[in-house]
Amino acid sequence: MEWLNEILNEISKCSQTKDLELLRLKVFGKKGLLTNEFSNLKNISDDSKKQVAKELNDIKQKIESILTTKKSELEEFELNQKIESQKIDVSLFNSSLSPMYGHPINIIFDKIIDYFVGMDFSLKYGPLVEDDFHSFEALNLPKFHPARDMQDTFYFNDSMLLRPHTSPVQIRTMEEGKLPIRIISPGAVFRRDYDMTHSPMFHQVEALVVDKDKEVNFANLKYILEDFLTYMFGDIKIRFRSSFFPFTEPSAEVDISCVFCKGAGCRVCSNTGWLEVLGCGVVDNNVFKAVGLKDVSGYAFGLGVERFAMLSYGVNDLRSFFETDLRLLEQF
């Protein structure tokens, strides 16, 4: 059968399933090469007929099995080619979307970080899943302090929790024991809260400055916060109100004159003319004791990024930052 080797050769060289189908028809079709051989059987003498028929059947099976293998090879190859050519890159810029700068929380984060990096602070990150020691104990929050309440903090078990503030990063940094310390720590924090001004996950930026004894004092803290808040909110009045945090002594809460009514009194500032924006203080000696630092002084402050974003953009429901509603996000 002169055609046999030729067709096998063609099959092995074939590179497309549709060409393979043509080859199949060339052999097995109505007027196909092998079909013809079978029809010719009737012209063969009876004594060799059986032998020839057997040979033809063997050839038939051989070609069929070669075709099946080749077909699955080609199908796989073509599928891979298709997948390759139709790959969708979801990160590709799509010019039909309206141009956006970014998420308001990120914009405020960047603005805050820019300021402090310019003031020679370095960035420090810490784990979101924290232990009791770094979140409370070392921060002078003894057992049974109300802030440890299950109602405020998400616990995994007795000792592990989702950090309710960025202050554990203070402790981790001081534990390294290198002075001076001049860090800010931005990141997510978690509390069991949900209403217009609270969400179970939100973001804080914590700052910590520590140096040799008497090098760092409240005046340094006051100076940098006044400069920073003016940078963030422009022409505002600032006041320090004495307050309490277990990890700072003395402590203060800082208010700015209401950015909406300029201090005249409105709904947002509950007619006080003032808005509370952050907590701060001189690091309590018990905190230094907990991390084994002696003869040092320091200040710390912490702020809520969502609160800053709400005040900067006049957004009145904090939850809308997390709803990924394009009608809100497109405005940034």
The interface region with ligand PHE, picked from 27-35, 39-47, 284-292, 298-306 by CB under 6 A, is 298-306
Query: Which letter does DSSP use for residue 195 in this model?
Result: B
Cα separation, 87 vs 83, in Å, equals 6
Minimum CB distance to ligand PHE, residue 174 (Å)? 13
72-101 burial: b if 16+ Cβ within 10 Å, else e? eebeeeeeeeeeeeeeeeeeeeeeeeeeee
Minimum CB distance to ligand PHE, residue 303 (Å)? 8
Cα separation, 208 vs 248, in Å, equals 11
Q: Does 190 bind ligand PHE (CB under 6 A)?
A: no
Tell me the number of residues near ligand PHE by CB under 6 A: 11
Cα separation, 16 vs 21, in Å, equals 9
From 280, 282, 287, 310, residue interacting with ligand PHE (rule: CB under 6 A) = 280
From 104, 126, 187, 281, residue interacting with ligand PHE (rule: CB under 6 A) = 281
When the beta carbons of 14 and 170 are compared against ligand PHE, the nearer one is 170
Q: Coil, strand or helix: which one is 299?
A: strand
When the beta carbons of 258 and 280 are compared against ligand PHE, the nearer one is 280
Minimum CB distance to ligand PHE, residue 167 (Å)? 4
Q: Is 103 in contact with 332 (CB distance < 8 Å)?
A: yes
Whether the upstream peptide bond of residue 99 has omega within 30° of 0, thus cis, is no
What are the φ/ψ torsions at residue 89 (nearest 5 degrees)? -95, 100
DSSP codes joined into one string, 228-249? HHHHHHSS--EEEEEEEETTEE
Q: Does 248 bind ligand PHE (CB under 6 A)?
A: yes
Cα separation, 252 vs 237, in Å, equals 16
Cα separation, 246 vs 229, in Å, equals 24
Q: Does 302 bind ligand PHE (CB under 6 A)?
A: yes
The interface region with ligand PHE, picked from 26-34, 76-84, 129-137, 279-287 by CB under 6 A, is 279-287
From 141, 287, 300, 309, residue interacting with ligand PHE (rule: CB under 6 A) = 300
The interface region with ligand PHE, picked from 36-44, 120-128, 234-242, 273-281 by CB under 6 A, is 273-281
- If you count DSSP H runs as helices and E runs as strands, how many of each does the chain have, helices first? 11, 9
From 202, 301, 308, 321, residue interacting with ligand PHE (rule: CB under 6 A) = 301
When the beta carbons of 34 and 252 are compared against ligand PHE, the nearer one is 252
Q: Return the residues of window 126-165 that contact ligand PHE according to CB under 6 A.
A: 165
Residue whose beta carbon is closest to ligand PHE: 302
Query: Which letter does DSSP use for residue 253 in this model?
Result: E
The interface region with ligand PHE, picked from 37-45, 56-64, 70-78, 276-284 by CB under 6 A, is 276-284
Q: Is 301 in contact with 222 (CB distance < 8 Å)?
A: no
Minimum CB distance to ligand PHE, residue 324 (Å)? 26
Minimum CB distance to ligand PHE, residue 275 (Å)? 16
161-180 footprint of ligand PHE as x/- string (CB under 6 A): ----x-x-------------
From 228, 279, 284, 307, residue interacting with ligand PHE (rule: CB under 6 A) = 279
Q: Is 297 in contact with 215 (CB distance < 8 Å)?
A: yes
Beta-ladder partners of 240 = 254
The interface region with ligand PHE, picked from 36-44, 92-100, 102-110, 296-304 by CB under 6 A, is 296-304
Cα separation, 192 vs 263, in Å, equals 32
| Rg, the chain, Cα only | 37
Residues at the site binding ligand PHE, with contacts judged by CB under 6 A: 165, 167, 206, 245, 248, 279-281, 300-302
